[in-house]
Structure 1
Amino acid sequence: MQITFIGGGNMATAIIGGLHQQGGHRIHVVDPNTAKLAELSQDFGVTTSTTLPEQLSAADIVLLAVKPQQLKDVCQALAPRLNGGMVLSIAAGIRCDALARWLGSQRIVRVMPNTPAMVGKGVSGLYAGGGVSAADQADAETIMQAAGITVWLDKEEGIDDITCVSGSGPAYVFYFIESMIEAAEQAGFAADEARRLVLATFDGAVELARQSPLPVATLRTNVMSKGGTTERAIARFEAEGVKAAIIAGAMDCRDRSIEMGQQLSQD
């Protein structure tokens, strides 16, 4: 598979690293940052350039990994070079209809990945535009599975839905980890020990939830005993509205994803 990355940032690097492990791909990266290009070339053996290729073929796959605010200009510069090749966009917010107008092509897959892709544990939601074939979908899935699991979305609005769960979700988890580390330090643990304890606790809890057939709510209540220490902590969380705030925050995230799409997808 011939894949051209437009943008060589952290998410692109994560995907390139996974594809390098898969093997069998020819990868080219376009980015104005020459130091970054040198690093990618050394680490993964990719070819690089600071400018777009003169021409691409219909067999080439282009992955757009630039900031949403830069995407219109990049697409318009790419359009006369594309020659019908499939385009994957990991830019937040920009809708398929806008991408199609800017690129002059309907062969588009939108992708919402997340940052655990950097360690091969990502989650990517994919939506196929109207010009995407079954073979194109298989290629897009192969690319994104290099960085973790994939979920195909039946409608484009699903990108907003998965953004508030998986796309932004790692930040929610890091926020909770951060809070627990601070609690551990307040309890008297040194900073490095607090971090080690909390990360191990999260690792163990996630693995238990993965392996257990029980609902996570049941796993939580199994830790609690009547009048005990865990019940006291959960009672405070409930009194402070922690669960409600997390759910509301996720819905705010979804609303913002919709707003960004409306704003950034305009001509």
Structure 2
Amino acid sequence: MKIAILGAGNMGLSFSKSFLKYELIKPENLHLIIRSESKIPKIAEEFPKSKISTFEEVRELDADLIIIAVKPQDFQTVAQNIHFKLKENQMVLSIMAGINIEKIQKSLHHPLVVRAMPNSPTLLGMGITGYTAADGISFSQLINIERLLNSTGRSVYLENEELLDGVTALSGSGPAYFYYIIDAMIKAGMEMGIEENLSKLFVKQTMLGAYHLINNSDKSLEELIKDVASKGGTTEAALKTFEENSFKDILKLGILNAEKRAKELNN
């Protein structure tokens, strides 16, 4: 398979590294297309055998799959200024937030579009990606796409494209929510007199341990919380404060607003 990536930013490059790491494509069959010529030398160091071009240079694109990894705000400009015409059998995989399949099809004048929403842990091969496809994409083509997506972590096929905006808000943006909470916990530790690096260690290891407990326990989240929160104890005092300040409601509202923004991006 030959793959071209339009917009070789963090996500585009992390996908490229995963494909090469698992030998899903050969380096010489990877074409990275970027907007800024100044970035070519640095990318060429990481991908010495792959082809690297600017958008302006590409007049014909020899690829089986074209991955669109530009910012959603830039998509319309990119679509209007590409100098190549898509061939009938080429597939398009979009990893842009918010931009739906119909809009991509109309902008590119091309029917074969798969839309996916990965998240930043794909950088470590530990991401999760929700994806869906336009009518006309065959089962074998979808299997090939899934193999590529699974090289970056896990993938889930969704029949209903509208759910992808929810996936964007939940897992696409989700890592930032955890970082935000972890940052607050670390700062609380520092306020209690614990040195910053030590506070980070306690919080990060606690997060890691909690993740493994969730993954390896048959108990519900409510039961796991009760296991820690003994009556009249320290955990109960913290949880009571969270409830009094509607922390759970605020978090849910933020996620719902992220979904709303994903829908707005399509317009």
Task: Write out aligned runs for 1:204-243 (5 A).
Answer: 204-243=209-248
Answer yes or no: is 1:166 the counterpart of 2:171.
yes
Answer yes or no: is 1:53 the counterpart of 2:58.
yes
2:204 matched residue in structure 1: 199
1:109-150 deviation per Cα after TM superposition (whole angstroms, max 9, x unaligned): 111111111121111110101121112211221222121111
Aligned residue among 58, 69, 90 for 2:95: 90
Question: Contact 2:58–2:83 (CA<8 Å) still a contact in 1?
Answer: no
Question: Contact 1:8–1:37 (CA<8 Å) still a contact in 2?
Answer: no
Question: Contact 1:18–1:147 (CA<8 Å) still a contact in 2?
Answer: yes
Answer yes or no: is 1:70 the counterpart of 2:78.
no
Structure 1: gaps spanning 5 or more residues:
none
Aligned residue among 106, 109, 120 for 2:111: 106
Question: Contact 2:59–2:84 (CA<8 Å) still a contact in 1?
Answer: no
Aligned residue among 192, 205, 210 for 1:187: 192
Residue 214 of structure 1 deviates from its aligned partner by 1.3
Structure 2: gaps spanning 5 or more residues:
none
Question: Contact 2:72–2:265 (CA<8 Å) still a contact in 1?
Answer: no
Question: Contact 2:118–2:172 (CA<8 Å) still a contact in 1?
Answer: yes
The Cα RMSD (Å) is: 1.6
TM-score by length of structure 2 reads 0.92
Q: Is the partner of 2:85 in helix, strand or coil?
A: helix
Residue 44 of structure 1 deviates from its aligned partner by 3.4
**In structure 1, how many angstroms separate the alpha carbons of the residues matched to 2:123 and 2:61?**
28
**In structure 2, how many angstroms separate the alpha carbons of the residues matched to 1:24 and 1:115?**
20
**In structure 2, how many angstroms separate the alpha carbons of the residues matched to 1:32 and 1:160?**
27
1:145-191 deviation per Cα after TM superposition (whole angstroms, max 9, x unaligned): 12111111111101111112101111111110010001110111111
Q: Is the partner of 2:115 in helix, strand or coil?
A: strand
**Amino acid in the other structure paired with 1:29:** L
Alpha-carbon spacing, 1:78–1:141, altered in 2? closer, same or farther (3 Å)? farther
Alpha-carbon spacing, 1:185–1:215, altered in 2? closer, same or farther (3 Å)? same
Q: Is the partner of 1:30 in helix, strand or coil?
A: strand
**Amino acid in the other structure paired with 1:72:** Q
TM-score by length of structure 1 reads 0.92
Question: Contact 1:126–1:153 (CA<8 Å) still a contact in 2?
Answer: yes
Q: Identity over the aligned pairs, expressed in percent? A: 33
